[in-house]
Structure 1
Amino acid sequence: MRGAIWIRLAILYLIFGLCVGLFMSITLNLQWGSAHAHVNLVGFVTTTLFGVIYSVYPKAAVNSIGKAHFWLHNLGIPIFLLSAFLVQVPGLLDTAHIFTYIGGGAFLLGTILFAYNAFKHIK
């Protein structure tokens, strides 16, 4: 997928992360700090970096590995981020861990594919 798509999705994570931070500030309900940080770092920053790299090296973005990375990342990250919120809800720790393993596993696998793709197609 083209780098511009990655960057547009990253902007949505940025807006969501800022909203979570503003909510925490207004309500002084600060237990969501870890989830807020994960939305901004994993959602916004990593998605932006992948988008910039794929913009600079578009051949890496449009091959089958780049497309698999896109889908693993963009299906895995929302599931992983959901776990970052669920871990704070009493009684949902076990459920949160399931989401962490599924979403985080997809994110990790996608990142491994990205690394392989980068070494193969970025020269």
Structure 2
Amino acid sequence: MGPWWIRIAALYLIFGISVGIFMSSTLALNWASAHAHVNLAGWATTGLIGVIYSVFPNAGNNRLGKIHFWLHQIGLPLFLLSTFLVQVPNMLETAHLLTFTGAGLFGLGLILFLINLFVNVREADAVTKN
């Protein structure tokens, strides 16, 4: 599963940089929070999880890893959408619904990730290249 996480993270990187370029060119700095969330939760967090699951493939390919993958891939886009919608007039209620739904799924996935790390990540299982 690790390579899938890394590929998806790269998509968040392109999107996050595009938002940054848009903000810079238009001086629409009110999008800064959404931009930061895309880069940190989308690019950095997703990419780091991908690296961890690539080094420890047994953790990424077990049931916890797969459930984590889907909770993350459904919850994070909903949450990130909410960070943009809070800036749109008359969308605050929708944004809050997406915040709680998306962040709830994303957060539950991160709890499963933590459990997975403690249960299934062992030094002896690491993929190493000599």
TM-score range, shorter chain: over 0.9
Which residue does 2:81 correspond to in 1?
82
SS in 2 for 1:73: helix
Number of equivalent positions: 122
Paired residue type of 1:82: L
Q: Distance in 1 between matches of 2:34 and 2:19?
A: 9
TM-score of the superposed pair, with normalisation by structure 1? 0.98
| Partner deviation per Cα, 1:46-79 (whole Å, 9 max, x = no partner) | 0011000001100000111100000000111100
Q: Which segments of 5 or more consecutive residues in structure 2 lack a partner in the other structure?
A: 123-130
In our comparison, the structure showing a higher alpha carbon Rg is 2
Instruction: Output aligned runs, 1:38-53, within 5 Å.
Output: 38-53=37-52
Q: If the length of structure 2 is used for normalisation, what is the TM-score?
A: 0.92
CA distance in 1, matches of 2:8, 2:90: 31
The separation in 2 between residues aligned to 1:27 and 1:62, in whole angstroms, is 43
Q: Percent identity?
A: 61
Partner of 1:94: 93
Counterpart of 1:7 in structure 2 is 6
Aligned-pair CA distance for 1:38: 0.3
Structure 1's consecutive aligned runs of 4 or more residues displaced over 2 angstroms after TM superposition are none
Equivalent position amino acid for 2:27 in 1: L
Secondary structure at the aligned position of 1:88 is classed as: coil
